[in-house]
Amino acid sequence: MAKTHNLPTPAQIADLKEGLADCDKGIYAKTLQEFKLRAKQGNVDAQFSLGAMYDIGQGVAQNDRVALKWYRLAAKQGDANAQFKLGAMYATGQGVAQDYQAALKWFLLAAEQGVAGAQFSLGAMYANGEVVAQDYQTALKWYRLAAKQRDAGAQCNLGAMYATGEGVAQDYQEALKWLRLAAKQGYAHAQFSLGAMYANGQGVAQDDKAALNWFRLAAEQGFAEAQADIDAMYAEGRVAD
């Protein structure tokens, strides 16, 4: 399935959960002890924070199974971020047997609480027909919700659906709008797609120079198709050195 999100960074964990500032200062043992005590007492924030620490190996040895344990406890108490992380672990088989049904369950719970990553993941599952029947309308719904929260992957996929007319009337202007938003966030696939629209004159005046600029941005991030199109443009004499 489409990739969801990367593991939370230490800075993101610190923003989400009280006490991780201590981790950033190197006071790992004290923080871990405090979190374990609070987590065993049922504190949902501490449970999520422990899950995140074991997830990325922040102050502890990285351990997917222990991360899963604490995420699950927090998720069962309704923590939306834990529900999303639990869904992602089931979707990718991280620390647990891959199980798209379980992933769907937890993504849905998190998405209904407004977690953009879960909304994006649901959009991808419905767009690709994974576990659920393929349903572009439902995919569009979840992508749009995530896109409005500035999720670059959702913005890109929403733009692609408008460009191709999947689940919605084809609309190049809407496609350009969402692709630009994702591209400005540095999302390589959106940069490549914008380049293709300029190269082909879809919704904009045909412009090889603009196409080359967007292709280059994507290629600099290792997007192979963008580099192939750059090479083709030079080979065809569409751009000069």
Q: What is the pLDDT of residues 196-217, one digit of tens each?
A: 999 999 999 999 999 999 999 9
Establish if 220 belongs to a structural domain: yes
Q: Return the minimum-mean-pLDDT range out of 14-28, 87-101, 136-150, 174-188.
A: 14-28
Establish if 211 belongs to a structural domain: yes
Establish if 226 belongs to a structural domain: yes
Establish if 35 belongs to a structural domain: no
Rounded average pLDDT over 31-54: 91
Domain carrying residue 204: 176-241
Instruction: Report residue 33's pLDDT band, with 50, 70 and 90 as the boundaries.
Output: confident
CA angle (118 as vertex; 78, 193 as ends), nearest 5: 165
Establish if 218 belongs to a structural domain: yes
Q: What is the mean pLDDT of the chain?
A: 88
Indicate if the pLDDT at residue 145 is higher than 70. yes
Q: What pLDDT score was predicted for residue 28?
A: 62
Give the predicted TM-score (pTM) of the model: 0.84
Establish if 160 belongs to a structural domain: no
Establish if 57 belongs to a structural domain: no
Q: What pLDDT score was predicted for residue 8?
A: 38
Establish if 64 belongs to a structural domain: no
| Counted domains in the chain | 1
